Amino acid sequence: MLYIAGGCCALLSLYCGFPRLCLFLTLVTGIRWLLTWLKGVSYTGTVRLEGKVAVVTGANAGIGRAIATDLARRGAKVILACRDQARAEAARVVIIREAGVAPEMVTFMKLDLASFKSVRSFASELTKTVPKLDILVNNAGVAFLSSAVMTEDGQEMVFQVNHLGNFLLTNLLAGLLAPGGRVVMVSSLAHDWPRRGIQYEDLTWQRTPFSMVEAYGQSKLANILFAKEFGRRFADQGITTYSVHPGAVITELGRDFKQKLPGFLVPVTDYLASLVLKTPEEGAQTIIYCSVEPSVARETGLYYAECAEKIPSPLALSQGEAAWLWRVSEEIVGDI
């Protein structure tokens, strides 16, 4: 094989000239490096989680399922907190098989973050089901809705599912979180998209023309601010929080956007996406890192990407903004 490759290079050299050959090889090498870099860092820690209990929201597909599989493989009892029972039960079968664990180690509980009533019901049932909670991964989310959709609670769908539901859920489960417990918020680089930060004066987009980019971005900014403030409030109880940018990942979040494309373009966009976007397993790496890595056990309220702490946008660094978001969120969701 080496001789064949050498012969090909020699022929190319004769035909194209040495400078062109060097340029070609440099370009190929650069593209391969770029594609590898885009796939991100892999977490190689071997931490075991026997005796630990983990809840992963939105665990029926994508990053959530990859996280749940990894945590189950490490020995944790994993609860799949999902809206759609049929899809969650199908995912549960796959997770049990891939993790190689007993069926009772992976269970399903219904949770719809678009309903405060559902969140309260889930939290109540969980406290009756398990004696403690060690890991809470707030992964479920929605993105890129083409118009403002109101929930049964009168809130805009993206902000409620991505932030308000998580805010209520995490607070209701705070008493169940054991010392050393971790809360991981799946945020995004998109937290830097909102031009003015969170538009507190019109969270339901009644007076402002709806922007799918702004709506998604401010919900991801809220994830980071919430992790910061929750971490501050619960640090003395030994509970730590982490917000994570998983990278550009092929997930179902973009299904609404994908449905707008002409059918003939879908195979092309799918192929291009597979080249430059992370798989769900690759996107799950930093979330798993923040969920289990011993070296970050004393860190709280910080932002991470590629298995390392990163500096978020200036708005996401404001403790005052984090405290204000908490007050507004508490007023909306009610008793926490």
- Mean pLDDT, residues 39-46 taken together: 86
**Which pLDDT value is given to residue 275?**
45
Q: Is 232 exposed, middle or buried (0-12, 13-18, 19+ CB in 10 A)?
A: middle
Q: What residue ranges in the chain does DSSP mark as E strands? A: 53-57, 77-82, 106-110, 133-138, 177-186, 240-245, 302-305, 308-310
**Which pLDDT value is given to residue 278?**
79
Structure tokens at 26: 């440099």
**Band (157; pLDDT cuts 50, 70, 90):** very high
Domain extents in the chain? 2-37, 48-333
Average the pLDDT over each of 146-160, 163-177, 236-250, 268-282 and give the range with the smallest value: 268-282
**Model confidence over 72-95: pLDDT tens digits?**
999 999 999 999 999 999 999 999
At 46 the three-state DSSP class reads coil
At 36 the three-state DSSP class reads helix
**Which pLDDT value is given to residue 26?**
66
**Which pLDDT value is given to residue 248?**
79
Say which amino acid occupies 326. W
pLDDT over 50 at 272, yes or no: no
Contact call for residues 161 and 112 (beta carbons, < 8 A): no
Contact call for residues 50 and 25 (beta carbons, < 8 A): no
The secondary structure element, H or E, covering residue 146 is: none
Structure tokens at 259: 């449905």
pLDDT over 50 at 33, yes or no: no
Q: Which residue has the higher pLDDT, 142 or 267?
A: 142
- 48-333: CATH superfamily: NAD(P)-binding Rossmann-like Domain (3.40.50.720)
**Model confidence over 214-269: pLDDT tens digits?**
999 999 999 999 999 999 999 999 999 999 999 876 654 455 555 555 665 545 44
**Model confidence over 94-137: pLDDT tens digits?**
999 999 999 999 999 999 999 999 999 999 999 999 999 999 99
The Cα–Cα gap between 279 and 275 comes to: 10
Asked about 289 being catalytic, the answer comes back as no
**Which pLDDT value is given to residue 269?**
46
pLDDT over 60 at 3, yes or no: no
Which is catalytic among the residues 43, 216, 289, 303? 216
Structure tokens at 155: 């809130």
Q: What is the mean pLDDT of the chain?
A: 88
- Mean pLDDT, residues 136-165 taken together: 96
Structure tokens at 176: 């169940």
Structure tokens at 304: 């991470």
**Which pLDDT value is given to residue 29?**
63
Strand partners, 106: 78
> Of all residues in the chain, what percent carry a pLDDT higher than 90?
76
Query: DSSP secondary-structure letter at 120?
Result: H
pLDDT over 90 at 23, yes or no: no
Q: How many residues does the chain have?
A: 336
Give the CA angle between residues 67, 69, 74 to the nearest 5°: 95
